Structure formats: C-alpha cells, structure tokens
Structure 1
Amino acid sequence: MKLGNHLLKAAMLSTISIASLSVGSAAFAQDNAPQASDDADENVIIVTATKREQTLEEVPVAVSVTSAAAIERAQVRDLKDLQTLVPSLRVSQLQSSANTNFIIRGFGNGANNPGIEGSVGVFIDGVYRSRSAAAISDLPNLQRVEVLRGPQSTLFGKNASAGVISIVTAAPSYEFGGSAELSYGNRNAIVAKADVTGPIADNVAFSLAGGINKADGYGTNLTDGSKTSERNRWYGRAQLLIEPSESFKLRFIGDYDKIDENCCFVGNIFDGPTGAAIRAIGGKVNSAGIFSYSEYQNFASENKITNGGVSMQADYEMGSLSLTSISAYRESRAKTNADSDFTSADLIGANRGDVDITTKTQELRLASDFDGPFNFLLGAYYFNESINNKQALTLGRDFRNYASALTRGAYVSLEPTIRAAGGVPSTAAPFGGQGQGRFEDWDYKNKAYSIFGTADLELTDGLVLTGGFNYTKDKKNLKSNTTITDVFSAIDLVQVGANAGLPAALPAGFVPAGGTALASGLFPRINNCATVTNAPASSTPNPTRSGTCNPFLDLQALQFLPPFLNIPNAVEDGRTSDGKLTYSVRLAWEATDSINLYASYGTGFKATSWNMSIDSRPFGSDFIAGSPAQGAPLAASAIRTAGLASANLTSGTRYALPEEAKVKELGLKAKWDSVAFNLTIFDQSIKNFQGNSFIGTGFVLTNAGKQSVKGVEFDSSFNPIDALQLRVATVYLDSKYDSYVGSQFGDISGQAVAGIPKWSTTLGATYTMDLNDGKALIFNADYHNESNVVINENPAWRQYKREVNDLSAAATLRFDSGLQVSLWGRNLTNAKYVSVNFPSVVQSGSISGYPNAPRTYGASVKYKF
C-alpha cells in the first residue's frame, strides 16, 4: 500500500519539526489545553458543530452530542451501537462488514454501491470518510461524537445533504497519563484497548492508542456448525502535537485498522415457492424462522477490510484571526465474498468484491474573533478520490439442476432446440454451467472543490443574524470493463422463436387488449401473441406480452445476467460535472442567560452518484429517442443508431441525479442549574433523493422526485439531586415520498418511507453513590424504543414490520486510585426485530432479512493513570 510511504513521510516531517521547533514555548499549549473531560462536568459540553468552540446550549444548530463518558457508561463499541443514545440517528449494517447505512431524520444511503457517497457525511477529527467501510472501525480515544441534523453544506465541503456525524478524539496532553481496559462477555467477547499520552519536549506531546474487539458470532451455519456475525477487528492510532510558539501548533495523526470477520448473518423470513425446487435437488433451506439465528452456507463469508491514513492539522493565530489547515491522505480496501443464496445448495458459487479507495483532501479556513458585532469564517475544500472496484458473481454447481427444477425440466430439455435455433456454437458451455457469471472492473475518479463561509452580525445585544454559503464543483469520470460469460442469458429467445417458425412481429393495425390500433413494426421484438397487455415502458425496449405462442419466452426470467454495455461508449461518455450554490440564514436570540432561541433556513447538495454495479445500464431514453405520434414509427434510438444494441441488452440507470436539500427549523435551548433541554421543530426535504434498492439479483439506483419529513426533536437532562441524572430524548418523524414515480415498485408517491419510525425515544438514568475512601458506585441504564414501522417499500410486504425495544445497563465500582470494575449488558430483554428485509437471491418469492443481535453481557476492568 502507498499508505506506508505517506506514514514514513509524515514521521520524517515530524522529526524535522521536532528538531527545529522544540525550543519554542509551551504556553500556547497550556492556554489551549483540551476542555475538562465531560466525565468531570457533563453539564458543560463544548462542541464545534459550527467549526467554532461553543457550549451545546449556545450553538444555534440542531446537534446531539454524546460525550466519551456517556459512551463508556453505555458500553458503546462502535458507531452501530451509537444509535441507542441518539434517537435521530439510525445505523444499519447490511450484507458485509463494509456495508453500513447512516440515516439521520429518515435520510440516508450509500451502502452496497461504491459509486454512491452517503447523504450523511462522516468526519473524524475534521477528515471526511467518503464510504462507510472507512468509518465503521471501533471508536478510538474519544472526546465526543456530534450528530448534526439537517443539511450542513455551508460548513462542510463534501456531501452533507442530510447531516453529519463528527467524531472528535482527544488531542495529546502535556500531562503524562492514559488508560488500559479489558472486557470479557458472552460469546467469548473480548475487548482490550489502551492509550497513553504525555510530553516529549516542552512544546511536543504524543499519544498512542490501540485495541482489539473479538467475539464469536451469534448466527450458526447449519452446514458445518460455524458461527456468523462474529467480531474480529483491531486498530492502532498515533498522534503528535507540536507547538513551536504561542500562536502556532501542528497536530499529526496516523491510524490503521483491520477487520477480518465472517459477517453478516442472514435469516429466512418467508420460504417461497422456490424452496421446493431447492429441496428437489437435495438442498436445504432453514424454515425455522429468522430468530432461530441459523442459516445454510456452502462456505464462510469473507470480510477483510483495511483502513488507514495520515492527517496534519495546522492552526495559526494572527491576533483576531485564526488560520486552520487540515491535510489528509487515506486508503481503504474491502475484500468480500459470500454464499449469497443462503441455502445448502450451491446456486451462487461466489459473490466477490474487491474495492480499493484512495482519498486526498485539503481544507483551509480563516476565522475571525473580533470584539465588535461582526465575525466571519471563510473556507475552501479540495477532494480527490479514485476507486477501483472489482466484482464477480458466478453460478454454482447446482444452479443448472435448480433452473431445470424451476421450469419442470424445460431449461435442460429445450436446450438442444434453443442452441440449434439460436445459432449457439457447439463449443459454448452448457446452460447454467458452474463458473459462468459476470466479472466487473470499474475505474472511478472524483475531483471536487468548494468555497464556503459564514458571517455573524450582532444586530442588538444577544440577537445575531448569520448567513452562510457554499459553492461546490464536482466532476466524476467512470470507466468499466465488464464481461458476461453466462451462455443462456445472451440468447435472443424471440429470434429463437422466429427461427422455429413463429411470427416475429405484430401485423399492421394490431389492436392490443383495451388499446388502439398500432402501426406495423412498433413492436418488432415480440412474437405474435394473442394479446399485448401494455405499451412499452420508457425503461425497456420490449412490452409485456401474454399468451403462450412462444414457449421459449417463459425462460426469460432465468436470463438475469444479460449482456452489458461498457462505458464510455459512442453514446455515453462516462462523465458528470455538477455545480451548485447552497446557502443558509439563521436568526439566534439569547433571550436570557438560560434560554436561547433560533430560526433558520438552509439548503444542501450532494453531487451525482454513479451506479457501479451490474445494474448500471443505459437510460431508457437512449433506447427510445421519443414517443411517436399515433401511427408513426418509433424514432431511431441512440444506442441502436450507434450500433451498440445487442440481444437482451436492457436499460436502467447509469447514475442518479444530484440531491438538493432544504430545511426550515425553529429551535429552543434552555439550561438551568439542574435542568437542561433542547427542542427543534423542522420541515426538511430532499429533491432527487438517491435510492438504491435490492431486487434479488442486483441493486437498482433511482431518484425519488422528492422525499420530505416534518418532525420534532426533544432532548433533556434533569438532576433532581446531585447524585442522580435523568435523560429523555425523543424524535417524531412524519416522513414520506412526495413524488417517487420511478421506484422499483412503480409510483409510490404519497407513501410513507419504509424503515423510518414515527417515534424514537431514549430514556436514561445515572446514579452515583459516593462510598468511603473516595470510592463510588455508579449505576447507568438506557432504554431505546422505535415505534412499529413497515420495513420495506414493497406493497406486498406491508405485513413485515419492526419495533425496537433495547435496554442496556451497567454498574461500575470506581476507586480513587483510577481503577474501575463494571458489569454491563446490552439488549438485556433479548428483544428481537428485523433490521432490513429483501428478496432472497435467485429465489423469486422468498424473503430474507437481517435480525438484530441478541443479548450481550459481560464484565470489564479499566485503569486510568
């Protein structure tokens, strides 16, 4: 990897800097030392949501802040667990460790397709993590996690149309210290981590951190008894803080983490009509229910993910102005493979992925701190990313027999006739032979830059008007080299019927059922049948037909690996270029020392997302150039005119249009000695929201015309006595598709967005009992509920719903020496629910899904020094 070279360069630069700058003063470090830990005073929480340090109550934006102490008490291990503390956030882990969806206020995407950047941006110490595989490692030595709700484009340089997750880690300290922790739980769960920090010289400090996270899986592969959905990951992180003067400091960060897991468990929800065909060929499907946590696989899933990078943040103070520069280089690689049919039959031989991502970013900010009524922040951001994506899906040794069983033998018995009538060479492999499939190779380049800024004007004492802007220019190039070796999917069954003596076109003046007369040649790609049930859709060159005049057409469903048109080509150049100006305006009023009010309006933007999958197909408009007048022939299509058309070449989407977000918010923040609360009322929408839906053989990328949500967010804390803190956070979301005509399931405009609950609530309590000799006993409990909600957009699946009830608790004995011992548990009631459901792979009519993890519990020992 190139990462090693970048780490070496950073280390050399750091060494040179230490040698030349160690004679400087450390006063700046002392004056700007990190705030007191949240554990010491959680009522004073410093956030940087506006890229300025403010208290949580002062910052006039919708933000949830989770402190390191709260994360430790709740035994949160990674970002997936964080959703139990932040009701506005939902995190879904899908078919591999590298595919995780982050959703805020019902908006989120980005998993399962490396061409799609998430609408929720993830930043760690100011560095953008463009894909979920680069953001899911275990949480490092934390200071806090900020979840910014709503579009954040005017302060973040890349893709924050739905919100931002900003993770802030602790900087090196000039006071020597650290911690070590060891935890053991059920399923042989072991978490071990340690960190150390301290001075190297008067103006140089360091920190080192590392950890492992291992656990046996909670799913069982009935084929060999092995476990799935295990944990096996580790990370290392090094930092160097150099402060050559009172006004200048440098912070270097290098990190590396690795995941090697058998993930992720998939259970059978509904054993459909294909189950009989699988059993007929000697295969097994587990019909005991998804919460039996058992499945069939022919081989263990492979999830090998490595992430690493280096960054440098430079801060320079020039009187009332401060300059900040953040430079970063990152690499992420995910190698995956899975037996995606989840049966003991070898239907899918392999489903391999190898995604290699290299990202370079540069951010520059200039901020003022004037005594007068006016202040500003001005910034620029540069992003350069390249992705190489290799994918492969091959047929297994049992697929041919399975296809024959599904068709009552026709797939095999008609093969000689089809091969002869279709002109298939005798040297071609048998239909459905093992190893045939699709083999993809994608090359993706993305360069973007943005200029952003905000300005604050204090109109009167305590009344501040803020305006912000962002201009982004985003360019993407895509190349593909995909080959399909499936013999059967390339055969023109219409022509096979014609060669067998069946008429190949409709007669002149033919009248379809319920329709008007159509011109001869309008449907040149269909055999003459008794009726035609509908006119051709814009997304396909062929209409749906009924009748049995061509028996070969009944086998078309097994042609799910049709020929692929690589890009760029004579019609498609594989390039997009987007530019957009977004803005925000906000009025904030400090009504009293304890009450702050604000009203805001903002817009956001996310650029075009390319479909880097086998379902990346030419748009229907490239097949059908226009709708002809009554009786006129179809206009020539660009694909056919360019000579690029081939038998069975289908249309679809190459990319999804840019997202454009809008949000209106009213906020109230209040804080007294023992009570604090935040209230936000909002109306948010995204035009052209990018949806990525699984259809059983691949993913379909589409744009919803408009998705919107109206809602209320409330969070509070109450200390009735010094020893007791009570917490309540709740979110109400009324989320729907205002317009979604071209969804996978047709027009679902007006329908509620699946998977987004109306209500999400978290209740928490912490009681600290002081004992003698400086000891303390701390009890903590958190309860998270999500109201019942339909899981999938499919109208036929409305009966499948999810309700979440998650109770976590911990008891900690803390000694004055820095030692603490804890007993903890997550999902203590062993509640069960399905996170996501989807059509079973190559098993039409069957349904699979991802269940939540069952109860976990254990004990931990931690020592702080």
Structure 2
Amino acid sequence: MRPLVRALSTWRRPLVQSSICLALLAVAGPPSLWAAEQDPAQSATANSAAADDEVALSKVTVTARRRAEDVQDVPTPITTLSGTTLESQKITKVQDLQQVLPSVNVAFIHARQSSVAVRGIGNNPASDGLEGSAGVYLDNVYLSRPGMAVFDLLDIEQLELLRGPQGTLFGKNTTAGVLNISTRAPTFDTERSVEVSGGEEGYFQGKGTISGALTDTLAGRISAYRTRDDGYIKNTYDGHKLNGGEREGVRGQLLFKPNDDFSLRWITDYNHEDSSQGTTVLYGAPATYWERAALVGASPHRDPDDHKVNLDSRQHVSVHQGGTSLEANWQLDGGYTFTSISGYRFWNFSPANDDTTDASAIINTGVEVHDRQFSQEFRLASPTGGFFDYVVGAYIFNSNLGNKNFSVLGPDADRFLLPTAVNGLGALNNVTSVTNGKVTTESYALFGQGTWHLTDRLDFTAGVRGTYEEKEAKVERFAPVGGAPVGGLGAYVRNLQAGAYDSGDLSLHNASPSGLLSLSYRFTPDLLGYASLSHGEKSGGVNLATASAPALGADSLLVGPERANDAELGFKSTWFNQRLQFNANLFWTGVHGYQATTLAQPAGSVLPVAVLANAGSVRSRGVEFEASARPIRGLTLNVNGSYNDVTYLSFKDAPCPGESTATSCDLTGQRVVGASKWIGNFNGEYSWNLSNGLQPYVTGSYSYRSAAEGTLDNSNLSKIDGYGLVNLSAGVRSDLGGGQVDASVWVRNLNNTDYYLAAFATMNGAYTASVGQPRTAGVSLRYDF
C-alpha cells in the first residue's frame, strides 16, 4: 500500500484540480443551454417538467455485477456504448472501438495478430499459447482468442468496458479489464430492419435483421451481413490493392419464455473472412535492412505514409469462426435467480504472407491456427433489498488449440536473411520449414461476491475467487524439405534455423486467487463515491513455436503467470434533472510478471525468433473521466478521456531495438509498449423535427491519442506518432409505409490523417506497421419496419 499512498499523495492536488475543472466546465456549459434549469418560473410549470423528461438522459442498465443495475449505481469504472450509438457513429469493427472508449488500445494487424489493452496492459500482438490481459466476452461467453471478436459488430445491444482486474464475478480471470459485448435478444413484437451502405475504395455493406414471435412462448431473431472493400494499400509490384476483402456472417437466436420465472436463450453464429488483411507497410529500418535488400535487388517503399508495398507473393487471410451458446435463467422461490451459461466456439485462421519485398527470399510464411473451446458457468444470485446480497458461482473452461508455423523460402533466402559470413553457403535457399504446436487448457474456478448495506448510504463489498488451471503443450519442428545438399557450416546453420526439434511434453499448473474489497457511499441521491482494492491473476503460457528452444532448451518456451494489484478512487454523479452525468476516477495498478511476446536473437542463432517472456513488473496509474449531456432537446453529447502513465518498474534482459548491436537491454523506467499517455474521445448527435414529418440529424466525433511505443523493444524506428481523427455524418429520418427510413451520408477520417494501429518487429532489424483507414466517404440507406 505504501507505493499507492505515495502515488496518490503526489498526484492528489493536480488530479483533483483537473477533475473539479472538468466537472465545472461540463456542468456550466454555455449559459443558454442550461437556461431552462435556471428559470424557477418555467421549472414550476407542468410543461417545463414534461420538457425536462424529454431532455433527460436515458437510464443505462448493466450487468457488471451479474444482476441488472443502473450503471450510475455500480461502484466501479464502467463505460457503456449502446448499439444505437455504434450504428450512428459508424463503428463496425473492433479496431475502431478505441475511437470511442477511454484507456483502450487495440493493436490490430489481422485477426490473429490483434489484442485489446486496457490502461496500457495487454499489448501482446500475437501468441497462440497466451491469453489476453483484457478479457473479451460475447453474450457472456469468454473468447479465448482476441481474434474471435474480429468480425463486423452486427445487431449489438450494448457494449460495456470494465477497467481493472475482473475475476470475482466474470468467468475467466483477467488482470486489465473486460470488454463485454451483448447482442440484441429476440423480441415477441415484430422487428425488421434492412440497411445497405456504399462508399469509396469499393466499400459495400448489406445487413438485415428480423425478429418476432414464433408462438406465444417462443421468439426468434436472425441477423446477417456481408461486407466488402478493395483495400487502401497499393502493391506496386502488380498494381493490386491490399488490406481489403470480404466478410460475412449470420446470427440466429431462439428465446423460450413460458412464464415470467424462466427463460432460455439459444444463440448460434457463423462468420467468415476472405481478405488481404495483415498487409503492413515498411515503417522503419536500420542500415542493415537496406544493405540486405540491395544485395538481393529488392526495392521496398521507404515512406509508410504513401500506403504502398512492393510484394511479389500472395497476401491472404482466411478466417472461419462461430459458435453456439445456451443461457437459462430461473427465478426461484424467495427471490433467488439461478443462471446457467453453456458456450462452444471454434476459430480457424489460415494466412499467406510475403517478406515485405519483391525479392524471392520468403515466398510464403505465417501461422495457421485451429482453436476449439467449451465453457460452462453456473451462478446463483440472492434477492436484493435486505442487509446482505450476494452472487456465487462455478466456472469450467476447456480449450484445444493447434497451430502450424510455416516458412517457404526462396532462392534469395541466404543473402537476405543471413549474416555476410554465412549467406553464401546455401543453408536456407529453397528450404521449407514447418512447426506444429498444440496446447490444451483445463480451468476450474469457484467465485463469490457479496455486498453488506451497512447503512442507507454506505455499502461494503467483498469478493473472492479461486482458480486452478492446467496446460499441456508440445512443439515439434519437422526436418526441413528442399534446398541443395550442404555440409559443414551450411549444414549447421540449416539445422539450427530449420532442423528437426521436439520439445517433448510441456506442462503448467497454476492455482490463482483473486479478490476484491470495495466501499461506496451515497453522498446524495445523485452522487456516489467509491474506493476499492482488488487482485487478479491469469495463468502462465506456452510459446507454440520452436523459437529459442534449440538454443536455450524447452523450458524457455514457458512463461509464468501475470499478477495485478489495483486501487480505485472515484465518483459518479448526475446533475440537472438527469440531463448531465459526470464520472471520474483515479487508479493505480501494479503488474508483476507482465507477459509479453517479441522477436529476439538468442546467442548462437543467426535469425531472430519469437520469444515469450515475463517482462518484469509494470505500473499503470492515472485518471479517467466521462460525461454525457443532453443540454437541449435533440442534442446528445458524450466525452471521455484518460491520462495513463504506464512504466516498466523492472525489465532487465529486455530485447534490444533493431538499430542496436547489443544482445540485451534494460527498459526499466521506460514506457510500456502501445500505451498512449493521453486519450480523448468526443461524439455527439443533434436531431430536430420539421413540420412535414422529416427528422434531419447530424453526428460528429473526434478521437485523439498521443504517441506510443510501437514494439516491446521501444525502438526509435517503431514509435507510433499521436493523431486525431474526425468523423462526420448527416441524414434524415422519415416515416414511410408503416416503418421508418433513414438516409445518410458520412465520412470517416475527414482530415485524411496518416495513422497506425500497431507496429511489428520483422527481419534484419526492420519494423512494419498496420495502416489505419484513410479518408473514406459513403452513403447509407436503412429501413426499419
């Protein structure tokens, strides 16, 4: 607790002053907007009261504590986004969520190399044997791979972001936070919707939903979409555009509700992607890279902002994924609620990638993944309204993942990939190498959380969780295929880089406790203050690639658990008859054994390899705020932001940047990869009614992120600059034929800012980066009936 006390005392004055100033600015606003509140005569009339009801913000219900509650009554930092907000702001992809959420980083290259980080924790681009620090849930089912959430956000009811360790109520342990995505449930009233959109770069999306009663006790819902675009990265080798493709999906549901005491919801979905996603531009490279490129006659593009590549091989990604879940809720005698959630999901990922050049060095490389998971959760929630209420439960999780790491090398492999001393031996030319990895996970947990209502205003909450987890893994690299016969030093290099290797059976066993202590006090009916301490853990992982094992042994493929301690101090407030909400909080998180993956070059190796390691300890601290306001009828404003100081407190023996000749570096005291210090998001919508029944509207948003480290080695060549994005749309709604039509025009990234979602270390000390979407304009037509 001493580091926390020192941190809070050091930051107390500027943070409190900043929060007060933000609150006063948000509350005050332009005088004209709040004039109705300041006029006693008007507020006394019935007409004014009715107007206040129309202007008041809608109540937002969340299930963060596994029962339905007003978000303003839950003493923890939560940001919610309704499906309507996502649709109006044209947020259709997971990688765009960081434009509307505070303290969130989404590192995205393609479905496999993606990660969600909260408060700077969880920036791991890809490791098949490692779970994310931030958990992603779809309809209460945990998704073991971040890529399982890479599909179009279709028919979403609500999205909830919970920050800090979440283990005492959510199914799987997470150390950074939870992104909980809920889809719209079947309705007994008929709902139908169809929408088509078209735009630049060949963009087209069609989607539709139908919901309604099948019998008096059974309702169904089906939603489908298809999206395509040409892409926005030009391949000068053949003139084609890359980073585009096709995505399509369908979700079907049934809701059985024979009475008010029982409901059963069955959800099945399938999503498919066939694209050239994962095409990255050359972002930064040392002299060594350019020397090797010249040696093989390659001509890579030097300026990443040109959005151009020069690739002579195929870029392709194929993703097949889906699943099914069954959620049952029983209302038992005495006010108890019993919940059962069963979930099964599969994820198949197949890539084809070039080596960033037009030379025949690496013809095809990538990691193919097949993942299957099953989860079962049971929960019992007590009745509320008394001195004490609680939720207890049990959770079982099983996954079976296999991958295939392949490299098909060409005739220029030696000269491009190997040092001068050995690049004329023919060791890797025309060699194909394949490595298979597999890991099975068994996880069991018991959890519970209770709240004591000590007074009408003071609540004390305590939660505990015990998790036991086993992982069994194996990595096997097969003997290389192809290549001319070599001996001596050439044979040694070939065997080291592509020779047969078998790790044998690997295993990890973890018993992990989690806990929560929280106090909340209701100062007024519209002001809630809270403070909490929590602890969370996630289990260790396995590097499912040969990586450092031939040089350092099989144990180098294992990584230990990640543990987090967190403290929160915040408030939630409502002002002016529900017309303004303003929430803010301070946080301090210490992470021990932070799990990370990068490229490194072990002693004795001539090529960099993927290394999974515990990156010492990390501290994340800062302040977050969010506000929503409806100052006048028809105008809704939302703003959120965060200041986040994320630092390695200890990270010795860290990987060195590509421009360095050292073999080991110390990143202690430096910033954590991918964590922007400042994040701010604003969005708003204004609509009004015309006398002819038309309802025009305009929406706008601005998102800002400060600079961040691009890769784990904190290379100067991979730093990601800060940027701001502007999105606008305008449209009109009107009743038509028993329904409502909505026609709009929109533009994303109005200022055509060059920005990047993630950087990645590659061969010869170079770095590539994933390009954010450039300015794109389009039109949409929607009909609800």
Aligned to 2:371: 357
Q: Is the 8 A contact 1:790 1:798 kept in 2?
A: no
- Counterpart-to-counterpart distance in 2, 1:365 and 1:439: 44
C-alpha distance 200-604 of structure 1, shift in aligned 2 (>3 A): same
Aligned to 2:697: 778
- Counterpart-to-counterpart distance in 1, 2:161 and 2:246: 27
Aligned to 1:761: 680
2:255 to 241, 261, 266: 241
Matches for 1:247-286 after TM superposition, within 5 Å: 247-271=261-285, 272-286=287-301
C-alpha distance 45-797 of structure 1, shift in aligned 2 (>3 A): same
Q: Are 1:394 and 2:330 an aligned pair?
A: no
Q: TM-score, normalised by structure 2?
A: 0.86
- Counterpart-to-counterpart distance in 2, 1:370 and 1:54: 11
2:562 to 659, 669, 678: 659
Aligned to 1:644: none
Aligned to 2:40: none
Q: What secondary structure sits across from 1:561 in the alignment?
A: helix
Q: Is the 8 A contact 1:564 1:649 kept in 2?
A: no
Q: Is the 8 A contact 1:791 1:837 kept in 2?
A: yes
Q: Deviations over 1:805-847 (max 9, x none)?
A: 1111111211134110111111110111233333433xx2433
For 1:479, the aligned partner's letter is: K
Aligned to 2:762: 840
C-alpha distance 558-678 of structure 1, shift in aligned 2 (>3 A): farther
Residue 197 (structure 1) shift: 0.3
Aligned to 2:202: 188
2:457 to 462, 467, 477: 462
Matches for 1:176-575 after TM superposition, within 5 Å: 176-271=190-285, 272-287=287-302, 289-319=303-333, 320-339=335-354, 341-402=355-416, 407=420, 411-412=423-424, 415=425, 430-434=426-430, 436-485=431-480, 561=497, 563=499, 565-568=501-504, 573-575=505-507
For 1:51, the aligned partner's letter is: R
C-alpha distance 40-136 of structure 1, shift in aligned 2 (>3 A): farther
Q: What secondary structure sits across from 1:653 in the alignment?
A: helix
Structure 1 outlier segments of 4+, above 6 Å: 486-493, 555-560, 649-652
Aligned to 2:590: 685
C-alpha distance 89-697 of structure 1, shift in aligned 2 (>3 A): same
- Counterpart-to-counterpart distance in 2, 1:403 and 1:232: 34
- Counterpart-to-counterpart distance in 1, 2:212 and 2:570: 41
Q: Deviations over 1:329-385 (max 9, x none)?
A: 11111111111x110001112213321111111000000114311111001000011
Q: Deviations over 1:100-125 (max 9, x none)?
A: 11011001145422111111111111
- Counterpart-to-counterpart distance in 2, 1:860 and 1:782: 18
Aligned to 1:135: 149
Residue 44 (structure 1) shift: 1.0
- Counterpart-to-counterpart distance in 2, 1:304 and 1:360: 23
Q: What secondary structure sits across from 1:376 in the alignment?
A: strand
C-alpha distance 92-725 of structure 1, shift in aligned 2 (>3 A): same
- Counterpart-to-counterpart distance in 1, 2:468 and 2:718: 44
Q: Are 1:829 and 2:761 an aligned pair?
A: no
Structure 1 unpaired stretches of 5+: 1-38, 416-429, 497-551, 619-647
Residue 226 (structure 1) shift: 1.3
- Counterpart-to-counterpart distance in 2, 1:210 and 1:796: 43
Q: Is the 8 A contact 1:222 1:295 kept in 2?
A: yes
Q: Is the 8 A contact 2:595 2:613 kept in 1?
A: yes
Q: Which has the larger radius of gyration?
A: 1
Q: Is the 8 A contact 1:728 1:762 kept in 2?
A: yes
- Counterpart-to-counterpart distance in 1, 2:164 and 2:485: 46
Q: Is the 8 A contact 2:622 2:643 kept in 1?
A: yes
Q: What secondary structure sits across from 1:133 in the alignment?
A: helix
Aligned to 1:90: 105
2:75 to 60, 67, 80: 60
Q: Is the 8 A contact 1:102 1:120 kept in 2?
A: yes
For 2:649, the aligned partner's letter is: D
- Counterpart-to-counterpart distance in 2, 1:62 and 1:108: 18
- Counterpart-to-counterpart distance in 1, 2:743 and 2:450: 48
2:646 to 724, 729, 735: 735
C-alpha distance 139-608 of structure 1, shift in aligned 2 (>3 A): same
Q: Is the 8 A contact 2:115 2:146 kept in 1?
A: yes
- Counterpart-to-counterpart distance in 2, 1:342 and 1:798: 16
Is 168-177 or 829-838 further displaced after alignment?
829-838
Q: Is the 8 A contact 1:133 1:305 kept in 2?
A: no
- Counterpart-to-counterpart distance in 1, 2:183 and 2:766: 45
Residue 326 (structure 1) shift: 0.4
Aligned to 1:47: 62
- Counterpart-to-counterpart distance in 2, 1:860 and 1:594: 39
Residue 432 (structure 1) shift: 2.5
Q: Is the 8 A contact 1:329 1:360 kept in 2?
A: yes
- Counterpart-to-counterpart distance in 2, 1:748 and 1:489: 42
2:670 to 751, 760, 772: 751
Matches for 1:719-734 after TM superposition, within 5 Å: 719-734=630-645
Q: Deviations over 1:513-571 (max 9, x none)?
A: xxxxxxxxxxxxxxxxxxxxxxxxxxxxxxxxxxxxxxx9xx99998716464222xxx
- Counterpart-to-counterpart distance in 1, 2:501 and 2:55: 61
Matches for 1:606-645 after TM superposition, within 5 Å: 606-615=538-547, 617=549
- Counterpart-to-counterpart distance in 1, 2:258 and 2:198: 43
Aligned to 1:855: 775
1:675 to 553, 558, 580: 580
For 2:308, the aligned partner's letter is: S
Q: Is the 8 A contact 2:107 2:674 kept in 1?
A: no
Q: Deviations over 1:770-821 (max 9, x none)?
A: 2123321111111011123343343551784410211111112111341101
Q: Is the 8 A contact 2:542 2:558 kept in 1?
A: yes
- Counterpart-to-counterpart distance in 1, 2:83 and 2:344: 26
- Counterpart-to-counterpart distance in 2, 1:368 and 1:99: 41
Q: What secondary structure sits across from 1:303 in the alignment?
A: strand
Q: Deviations over 1:307-327 (max 9, x none)?
A: 111111010001310000001
C-alpha distance 806-559 of structure 1, shift in aligned 2 (>3 A): farther
For 2:679, the aligned partner's letter is: S
- Counterpart-to-counterpart distance in 2, 1:77 and 1:40: 28
For 1:611, the aligned partner's letter is: N
Q: TM-score, normalised by structure 1?
A: 0.79
- Counterpart-to-counterpart distance in 1, 2:702 and 2:714: 32
Q: Are 1:119 and 2:133 an aligned pair?
A: yes
Q: Deviations over 1:76-123 (max 9, x none)?
A: 1111111101022111212x3332110110011454221111111111
Q: Is the 8 A contact 1:137 1:257 kept in 2?
A: yes
Q: Is the 8 A contact 1:110 1:132 kept in 2?
A: no
1:600 to 527, 532, 544: 532
